[in-house]
A and B are shown apart, each in its own frame.
Chain A
Amino acid sequence: MKRGKIWAVGGGKGGTGKSFITSSMGTALALKGSKTILIDADLGGANLHTFFGLNRPRYSLSDFFDKKVPLQEIILQSGIPNLGLITGSIGSLDSEGINHAQKQKLFRHIRTLDADHILIDLGAGTHNNTLDTFLLADNMIVVTVPEITALENMYHFIKSAYFRKMKFIFKTYNLNATIQDLWKNRASHNISSLKDLITHLKESSDHIRNIFDSEMSGFAVHIIVNQVRTPRDILVGLNLKSVCMNFMGLPVIYSGYSRQDDAVQKNINSKEPFMIFNRLSPVVKEVKTMTENILTGTNISVRKDLDDGCLSKIL
């Protein structure tokens, strides 16, 4: 059986549009003819089903956790061809409520789902379960908005994910004490940031440098800037790319942006999937563009559009 590509959408801050973007990208993939499954892993505040106008889902992840129903059997019809939905359990569990064994079992089941693409919607915050699900993905995606608080949380989220992965890897090499000690005594080593820590570790031995090269170099986060209102907001993604590389030492890909559109809220309230009922909204095209870019691992090119002034006219 083929193994589908796993996408995880997180980003730290609440309300940036993670669920909206996940549901819309999933729809875009399904409309292209790919077999797609959405999973609502926001165990504390599951609401992905709402984006498809479903209000009392028949099954949810609590059937999987509590009643041991296989994951494959709790997939709901989203109402859109090729698009299945696994809903979170509303209210009954919070993300800290599942234990290590349950988490491993969920990951195992996710990996064996029969689909081309599996998109996982994560909750806000940087809880370990959230980070672990994020790290499970082939495509790690963060959704942010052009606002200082959202960017602060997003930086923190990306660094936390990197740090957690680094700890996992070092553990498999029996080096977890090294990294823990170094971080505990960081002041004496003049380490004040994650970037310093990485630099210090890489310089400490060839062995460790090789571990970074072989295990961590694939770590690349896709950034989506949601709810943009001005051309300057669109540049945020470009700037984040530069900032993350220069001052966190972490590569990111600017996959796309989507503008603020009141139709989004209207559609949710009238229980109509956005991508189907709003074909004329520019957001539909923007979502398709970011989906394509994530599929191919490319950066969106905005500089030229901005220079030509064509974006300022529409925004």
Chain B
Amino acid sequence: MDVYLKYYDLLEQPPEATLEEISKNYSDLKTLYSGDSIEITALNSDFSQELQQDYLSRLDDAYEKLKLLLENKKPVLVKKTVIMDDSLSEWINSIKCFTGVALKSIRERMGVDLKDIFAATRIQPQYLEDIENEQFRSFRAEVYLRSYIVEYTRFLSLDTQKVLADYLPRYRKFHGHNADT
């Protein structure tokens, strides 16, 4: 993180600055130091061409880095490589219906912890558990459940559409067909 603080310093912004604020300052500083403003002209020998080039390229670099950082604010996915050997995938293929119990046993056989899924997806472990235990009461709207299942199955490299097709009707049945779609 230290190196990022240096970038913030160069752009003369605090670390909590938004990308918009940073972009504004970037363009102001660039204008100030590339043009022939009175503040720069008066510096005379304290501002040589080399110093100017050096400063501007450091400024550009800092801006690019911060832009990248702020555009991808989500934590980097640390997907644990799931070992899918033949026998495991054969067993998964043989599953008739992806219920909560089925999902849980797949995950456990893969040696994946709920905390791993949380770390990558930011879905609270409580909700992941509720999915596996079919605690349908926890999900007031289907859209939330759906988005969680999408992330959950992607993490485990399962067939997302098939899981949704098996799992969601059970949820709807529980809510007496009243759930929104």
Is chain B found bound to chain A in the same assembly? Answer: yes
Binding site for B on A (CB under 8 A): 146-149, 151-152, 154-155, 192-195, 236, 239-240, 242-243, 246-248
**What are the residues of chain B within 8 A of A240 when measuring CB–CB?**
39
Is there a chain A Cβ closer than 8 Å to B160's Cβ? Answer: no
User: Interface segment, B44-52, B71-79, B117-125, B132-140?
Assistant: B44-52
Q: Would you give 28 A-B contacts (Cβ < 8 Å), ordered by A?
A: A146-B38, A147-B38, A148-B41, A148-B42, A151-B38, A151-B39, A151-B42, A152-B42, A152-B44, A155-B42, A155-B43, A155-B46, A192-B45, A192-B48, A193-B45, A194-B46, A236-B38, A236-B39, A239-B32, A239-B37, A242-B12, A242-B29, A243-B32, A243-B40, A243-B43, A247-B43, A247-B46, A247-B51
Instruction: State the majority secondary structure of interface residues on B.
Output: helix
Minimal Cβ-Cβ distance residue in A for B40: A243
Q: In the complex the two chains form, what is the Cα distance from A239 to B30 in whole Å?
A: 11
**What are the residues of chain B within 8 A of A152 when measuring CB–CB?**
42, 44
Which 10 pairs from chain A and chain B are nearest by CB?
A151-B42, A239-B39, A152-B42, A148-B38, A148-B42, A193-B46, A247-B46, A243-B39, A239-B32, A148-B41
**What are the residues of chain A within 8 A of B98 when measuring CB–CB?**
none
**What are the residues of chain A within 8 A of B42 when measuring CB–CB?**
148-149, 151-152, 154-155
Is there a chain A Cβ closer than 8 Å to B148's Cβ? Answer: no
Q: How far is the CB of A143 from chain B (nearest CB, A)?
A: 15
**What are the residues of chain B within 8 A of A155 when measuring CB–CB?**
42-43, 46
The number of residues on chain B lying at the interface, defined by a beta carbon within 8 Å of a beta carbon of chain A, is 17
Most chain B Cβ neighbours within 10 Å, of A146, A240, A243, A246: A246
Is there a chain A Cβ closer than 8 Å to B127's Cβ? Answer: no
Which residues from 50 to 106 on chain B have a C-beta closer than 8 Å to any C-beta of chain A? 51, 55
Q: In the complex the two chains form, what is the Cα distance from A247 to B44 in whole Å?
A: 11
Binding site for A on B (CB under 8 A): 12, 29, 32, 37-48, 51, 55
**What are the residues of chain B within 8 A of A148 when measuring CB–CB?**
38, 41-42
Minimal Cβ-Cβ distance residue in B for A238: B28
Q: How far is the CB of A284 from chain B (nearest CB, A)?
A: 27
Q: In the complex the two chains form, what is the Cα distance from A146 to B40 in whole Å?
A: 12
Q: In the complex the two chains form, what is the Cα distance from A242 to B51 in whole Å?
A: 14
Contact of B46 among A195, A239, A242 (CB under 8 A): A195
**What are the residues of chain B within 8 A of A193 when measuring CB–CB?**
45-46
**A-B contacts besides A151-B42, A239-B39, A243-B39, 9 pairs, CB < 8 Å:** A146-B38, A148-B41, A148-B42, A149-B42, A151-B39, A193-B46, A236-B38, A239-B32, A247-B46
**What are the residues of chain A within 8 A of B55 when measuring CB–CB?**
246
Contact of A248 among B29, B46, B48 (CB under 8 A): B46
Q: In the complex the two chains form, what is the Cα distance from A148 to B32 in whole Å?
A: 15
* Cβ A247 vs Cβ B47 within 8 A: yes
Minimal Cβ-Cβ distance residue in A for B51: A247
**What are the residues of chain A within 8 A of B47 when measuring CB–CB?**
247
**What are the residues of chain B within 8 A of A247 when measuring CB–CB?**
43, 46-47, 51
Q: How far is the CB of A127 from chain B (nearest CB, A)?
A: 21
Q: How far is the CB of B32 from chain A (nearest CB, A)?
A: 5
Q: In the complex the two chains form, what is the Cα distance from A247 to B47 in whole Å?
A: 7
Q: In the complex the two chains form, what is the Cα distance from A248 to B47 in whole Å?
A: 9
Q: In the complex the two chains form, what is the Cα distance from A146 to B51 in whole Å?
A: 24
Q: How far is the CB of A58 from chain B (nearest CB, A)?
A: 42
**What are the residues of chain B within 8 A of A149 when measuring CB–CB?**
42
**What are the residues of chain A within 8 A of B40 when measuring CB–CB?**
243
Q: In the complex the two chains form, what is the Cα distance from A148 to B38 in whole Å?
A: 5
Q: In the complex the two chains form, what is the Cα distance from A298 to B44 in whole Å?
A: 29
